[in-house]
Amino acid sequence: MFERYTEKARRVIFFARYEASQWGANHIEVSHLLLALLREDKALFMKMLGTMAPFDHVTDLLGLKLEGEKISTSVDLPLAAEAKRVLKFAAEEATAMSMENIAPAHLLIGMFREPSAARDLLQKLGLDSVKVRAAMQGAVEGPTSVQIVTALRLQFGSLTSRLKPEMEPAVVYSLNREKVK
């Protein structure tokens, strides 16, 4: 079921199970997914908010209450229907973005499509799916290796054009030989 998930996204699911077990829940809720995302991918939230301060008391903000005794983490807790829909929405989002794998940011975007305390909290903090997509695409759409190499060649070319043979004969000689070929 989790073949398309990145390692980080798989850890989010693992931590969501852990969070649910610590709260004595008998299934994994969307709030547990948010707690797990905060645990696993702080950089995602730092990128969007610039700080982690709003999440200092996130369990209070989510209204989580201890439901019962802690459950062993070896118990396989099922996903609540809402959490299943978040995972489904995350997969749809990855497909829509033409991405093969599902990343933690996709899970976060999926949360915005499912009514929950987690979504309400994120919206109170000024986050929405558009901001998450923009943050994610900024990370994904960085310069390619070809663009980097091309930029470096241009910089190297402009630097070497200012060199005089007496400054660095080996560099000038090798550049001249490449131009001849």
Q: What angle do CA 102, 105, 111 make, to 5 degrees?
A: 100
The whole-number pLDDT of residue 8 equals 93
Q: How many CB atoms lie within 10 A of CB 166?
A: 7
**Between 52 and 77, the higher pLDDT residue:** 77
Where is mean pLDDT largest: 67-76, 107-116, 137-146, 156-165?
A: 107-116
The whole-number pLDDT of residue 168 equals 53
The whole-number pLDDT of residue 92 equals 94
Model confidence pLDDT, tens digit, residues 25-43: 999 999 999 999 988 888 8
Give residue 70's identity as a one-letter amino acid code.
K
Model confidence pLDDT, tens digit, residues 37-75: 988 888 887 777 777 666 777 777 777 777 778 887 777
**Between 26 and 172, the higher pLDDT residue:** 26
- Would the pLDDT of 112 be above 60? yes
